[in-house]
Amino acid sequence: MSPLARPPLEGLKRQLRRTRDHRSQGGEPGADSFVRETFTLERGEARVKAREWFEKYPKAAYWTQVESWRQLPGDRIEFTMRRLPSAD
């Protein structure tokens, strides 16, 4: 049985290098190349939305993650999803 092949990371390395270069040349502080979207949904809907993101933007390729979350009154969840804009 052969081990799973790792995805190529050259595109990601290029993108990170560009971001670092941009910052070192006086780019916006705190700016990065991630796409973020914040949602406020009922608990069940929040789980469904997070799963949609992980299915549409696989973690291995897009570094998708729940960046932050908090519980609000009424069993509502506010959360921010983060991912890379593309998987080169």
- What local confidence, expressed as pLDDT, does residue 38 receive? 96
> Is the CB of residue 78 less than 8 Å from the CB of residue 40?
yes
- Over the range 11-36, which residues count as b (16 or more CB within 10 Å of their CB) and which as e? ebeebeeeeeeeeeeeeeeeebebee
Prediction pTM value: 0.63
Tokens 């921010």 belong to which residue?
80
- At 28-66, the pLDDT tens digits run 545 678 999 999 999 999 999 999 999 999 999 999 999
